[in-house]
Amino acid sequence: MIEQIVSAVQHGLRREDVDHNALDVVERLRDEGFEAYMVGGCVRDLLLGLDPKDFDVATNATPEEVHDLFRRSRLVGRRFRIAHVRYGRHVIEVSTFRKAHAEGDDDDERLHADSGLILRDNVWGTLEDDATRRDFTINALYYDPVHEQILDFVGGLDDLEHRRLRFIGDTRVRLREDPVRILRAVRFQAKLRFELDPTIVAAIPECAEHLRAIPPARLFDEVCKLFTSGAAAAIWTALAPTRLRHSLFPCTPPDDQLTMLAMQNTDARIAEDKPVTPGFLLAVLMWHDYVARCDELAEAHNSTEARAMAASETLAAEHEIISIPRRFSQFVREVWALQGRLENIRPKSVRMVLEHPRFRAAYDFLVLRGATGEPVTEQAAWWTEVQTLDADGRDAMIDGLSPAPAASLRKRKRRRRPKSAAGSEG
């Protein structure tokens, strides 16, 4: 039963604010006799006065029917089968109404693990069914652009008004169905500045353990969403003292200044519409473990070998938790490897380092390390200055270098490799 139908006069959402491609999808589905609405984050964000990143459509048409109707579309997903309708480089995600699991259901298109985790969910239902099976109340608002109405089945408008983040139904059941929802809860809490329902806070320790059942590749995607949302610093502040941080990055100290500076830097770059890469944040999050392994391996290997081995070990350990794609793991290796060359400023290698494709990222990393108090501020200042000079000035600066190396990473005080970072993991 619909709890509330809100007209355009009441909700203030204007049709002209809606993506025209999403409108086209809805109208074409309606013309073919199907139900179709905009749903989820796009409706939520428009009501909050934000610019939605994506526009999603929900319909009673099956994925195959959507695919037949839109020539430039393709079906994706096995766990949740949906249609992607393409307009140039822009994609509208179209999902079919699904119904929630009921006790006694026995359907080949819905598969649960013994823990309750949903492995596959392709059981179609009605609009009302679809609303009650979504995760958060504020994500279960449907916008009808034809009649310019918002349909609310679960009290999402009230929660939106009071800035509450609440699951639909029993919190523990929803988190057992998909533990990744706890990461979504933290992300929305930080990005929207909403208050978490107390039942969500209470479920964090148990849910953190269940994250181990999630495929590492999916966890990598969720981590990227967490830290490239524009609210990375707030998200890390929320995650750090909990078991969620321990489950994802067990060797990152909860009060790590380097990580917080990197998160703040990432947020600033996103706000300025500058590019960011998950590789940089991964290099920061695993830095302490890498350095500790370098120190241990340096006793039996030369510095080059120790660094290479330490990088492989650190990445392999984290790869078991989140599956880091090769392009990002290689990025991390190169940024770490360049730290030694940036610290040991040698006349013969300066030009080669400046031309390295990862120089800028490695330089930014060095600057952040200096800002936390690591003894690399002089080297960071040198690299900062040399980048500002013309060719003649650069040559003069390089020629003026002492042949003696600066303090190296290997010569710093030996650190014990943390097996896991301590914290009040509530």
The whole-number pLDDT of residue 401 equals: 85
| pLDDT of 105 higher than 70 | no
Burial letters 9-35, b for 16+ CB under 10 A, else e:
eebebeeeebbebbbebbeebbeeebb
Q: How far apart are CA 97 and CA 22, in angstroms?
A: 17
Cβ contact 20:172 at 8 Å: no
Instruction: With a cut of 50, say whether residue 103 has pLDDT above it.
Output: no
Average pLDDT of the chain, as a whole number: 89
In contact, 88 and 72? CB cutoff 8 Å? no
What residue type is 74 in one-letter code?
Answer: R
Fold classification of 243-426 (topology level): cca-adding enzyme, domain 2 (1.10.3090)
Q: Return the SS3 of 98.
A: strand
* Residue 351 pLDDT greater than 70, yes or no: yes
Q: Is pLDDT of 426 > 70?
A: no
Find out whether 32 and 67 touch, Cβ atoms under 8 Å. no
Distance from C-alpha of 424 to C-alpha of 426, rounded to nearest angstrom: 6
pLDDT at 24 over 80: yes
| One-letter identity of residue 386 | V
Q: With a cut of 60, say whether residue 412 has pLDDT above it.
A: no
pLDDT number for residue 400: 86
What is the C-alpha to C-alpha distance for residues 117 and 182, in angstroms, rounded to an integer? 13
Share of the chain above pLDDT 90, in %: 78
Nearest Cα to 243, choosing from 7, 92, 423? 423
pLDDT value of position 414: 53
Express each pLDDT in 67-90 by its tens digit.
Answer: 999 999 999 987 678 999 999 999
* Catalytic (active site) residue 399: no
* Predicted pLDDT at 12: 84
Confidence of residue 3 (pLDDT cuts 50, 70, 90): confident
Query: Residue 418's pLDDT is what?
Result: 65
- Per DSSP, the three-state class of 196 is strand
pLDDT of residue 112: 44
pLDDT in tens, 115-136: 445 444 568 999 999 999 899 9
- What's the distance, CA 66 to chain centroid? 29
Nearest to 10 by CA among 136, 129, 147, 204: 147
Is the pLDDT confidence value at 409 over 50? no
Contacts of 101 (CB under 8 A, 6+ apart): 110, 112, 118, 121, 133, 177
- pLDDT band with cut points at 50, 70 and 90 for residue 419: low
Give me the mean pLDDT over the 226-243 stretch. 95
What residue type is 132 in one-letter code?
T
Domain boundaries, the chain: 4-103+122-168, 243-426
For 193, what's the count of Cα atoms within 13 Å in the CB-facing half-sphere?
Answer: 3
pTM of the predicted model as reported, rounded to 2 decimal places: 0.84
DSSP secondary structure of 262-290: HHHHHHHHHHTT----HHHHHHHHTHHHH
Count, in order, helices (H) and strands (E) of the chain: 21, 12
Spatial separation of the C-alpha atoms in residues 395 and 390, rounded to whole Å: 9
Residue 314: pLDDT band by 50, 70, 90 thresholds?
Answer: very high
State the pLDDT at residue 399: 87
Which pLDDT does position 75 carry in this prediction? Answer: 94
Mean pLDDT, to the nearest integer, of 313-342? 96
Dihedral sign, Cα of residue 36, residue 37, residue 40, residue 42: positive
Q: Give mean pLDDT, residues 390-400.
A: 91
Owner of token pair 């074409």: 28
Give the position of tokens 């929803």: 174
Which CATH entry fits the domain spanning 4-103+122-168: 3.40.50.2300, 1.10.1740.10, 3.30.470.10, 3.30.460.10? 3.30.460.10
Cβ atoms within 10 A of the Cβ of 296, count? 18
Sign of CA dihedral 277, 282, 283, 285: positive
Q: Per-residue pLDDT for 375 more than 60?
A: yes
Res 10: pLDDT:
83
Task: Identify the active-site residue in 19, 45, 54, 364.
Answer: 54
Active-site choice (135, 159, 197, 295)? 135
β-strands 141-144, 149-152: how paired?
A: antiparallel
135 is a catalytic site residue: yes
pLDDT tens, residue by residue, 275-286: 999 999 999 999
Pairing of strands 36-39, 90-96: unpaired
Q: Exposure string (b/e) for 52-89, b if CB count within 10 Å is 16 or more? A: beebbbbbbbbbebbbebbeebeeeeeeebbbbbeeee
Over range 38-60, report the average pLDDT.
Answer: 94
Q: Give the residue-averaged pLDDT of 193-209.
A: 95
Q: Is 51 a catalytic residue?
A: no
Q: How confident is the model at residue 108 (pLDDT cuts 50, 70, 90)?
A: very low
Q: In the predicted model, is pLDDT for residue 251 greater than 60?
A: yes
In sequence order, the 6+-apart residues with CB closer than 8 A to the CB of 325 are 220
pLDDT at 238: 95
